[in-house]
Amino acid sequence: MIGTTGFDEAGRRQIEQAARSVPVVFSPNMSVGVNVAFRLVELAARMLSGDFDVEIIEAHHRDKVDAPSGTALRLGELVASAQAVRCSRSPVHGRHGLTGPRPRAASAFRLYAAATWSGTTR
């Protein structure tokens, strides 16, 4: 059972390879409710593809060491995958001073503030 987040692509590949020979549970959040939410978000993203924007906002206490959290990142990955959009693990931070609508970008998600994960599906 792996509940740690922050693996790079090489680390994820190693986990996937190990899962071919031993049972592996790999999730950024072990809560049953959050894992149900993962599935519901994936279904909704497929059903609402096209002109719908997705914004994932999270807030934590000031001592939270990882932001965005693994849970927020996974939600973003699920939406991007369901809508066949490239999801960047290097979001653009901030939009201070910019006016107008968010641009539709190749990067599926943008981080607007220290604890806010936000973006568009295009």
Residues marked as catalytic:
60, 64
Q: Which two tokens stand for residue 18?
A: 């190990």
Residues 6 or more apart whose Cβ sits within 8 Å of residue 5: 28, 66, 69, 70, 73
Q: Where are the alpha helices (DSSP H) in the chain?
A: 9-18, 32-47, 70-82
Find how far residue 43's CA is from the centre of its chain. 15
Find how far residue 7's CA is from the centre of its chain. 13
Contact 73, 109 (CB under 8 A): no
